[in-house]
Amino acid sequence: MERAIELAKGSPPTHPNPRVGAVIVDTAGSIVGEGRHDGPGTDHAEVMALDQAGEAARGSTLFVTLEPCSHHGRTPPCVEAVVAAGVRAVVVATLDPDHRVSGEGARRLAESGLEVSVGNHEDEALALDRAYFHHRRTGMPLVTVKWAMTLDGAVAAADGTSQWITSEETRAEAHGLRAEVDAVVVGAGTLRSDDPRLDVRRDGYDGPQPRPVVVAGNSQIPSDSKLWSRDPVVVSTEKRPIPSGELLIVGGDDGWPDPAGTCRALADVGLLHMLLEGGPTLAGSWWRAGVVAEGFAHIGGKVGGGAGQSPMAGVFATIAQAEQVEFVSVRNVGDDVVVGFRKKS
């Protein structure tokens, strides 16, 4: 199972499908087949491993990080392929919360006479693709918010200047966060003021780039932004021309797309993990709407000493409005501190 998990970790982005690794061990205890899922339309990990094993799969044990599928999608059910190959036993790290599977794959394997066990290295398997499991359980993508702020809580000065609150090392870590998600989300105001690229820029990085997302509503967006060369998604409350990319229409109040509706629409186009980078108006509205699950506060070694811009716009009227979070990490990075947190369920 450790090898299957290693294979899954090495897969390219697979969303909206999950990352899965599979290993086939013959009756002598040797690995005879390996596979990983590389994305929609490609073979599932189990099928790839079975093809590699060939006749050696008969009487073997299949180790797989996620319950084999039992439904027809872009590819046939993996359960049928496993049974047809003559596999004797299947060891599953965790069940698939997808309503089309959700224990059905394991049940059909057992009914076909295979030995089935579930729960081997389950925590590691769940950590392989937190966004997939979050989406299948809640119907919503995993939204991670990130901001950089001074020690006294300002993400920008009163005049809007913010470069640079944090150190070069911390900014490099922020790019590492971008490398882990499907999309980086900003509002129209950030697009107009900063003209960001929303890509991963780290020395030696040659992996996949997140898709830029602009939540624009009916706000003005510049036609000469750097983002137009990167196939962005624009979320609007109305049909409008855009230079390139994909336009999603989401209803909302006061010309602002509904946060939950926006998240569902983005998940429908395969974006299951999003890094919300703001600005404060967008961050505040998404936080109050309850769509943010976790976040990182990058705290620079600076004190503003006065009224600047806070990470979230809106009125914090009474302490009763504050939501409880759980700190999951506190680390020194360069001259700064990075605090990881998640909402308490």
Note whether 27 and 59 are within 8 A (CB): yes
Structure tokens at 146: 């990130």
Residue that is written with structure tokens 């089935």 in the block: 116
Listed as own residue / partner, the contacts of 198-204 with beta carbons closer than 8 Å and 24 or more positions apart are 198/227, 198/230, 198/277, 199/230, 200/175, 200/176, 201/175, 202/172, 202/175, 202/176
| Annotation marks residue 46 as catalytic | yes
Given 46, 104, 124, 294, which residue is catalytic? 46
CB 202 within 8 A of CB 230: no
Name the DSSP class of 56. Answer: G
For residue 22, is it left (φ>0), alpha (ψ between -120 and 50) or beta?
A: beta
Q: Are 247 and 240 in contact (CB under 8 A)?
A: yes
User: Which residue bears the tokens 């009474």?
Assistant: 318
C-alpha 220 chain-centroid distance: 28
Active-site residue numbers?
A: 46
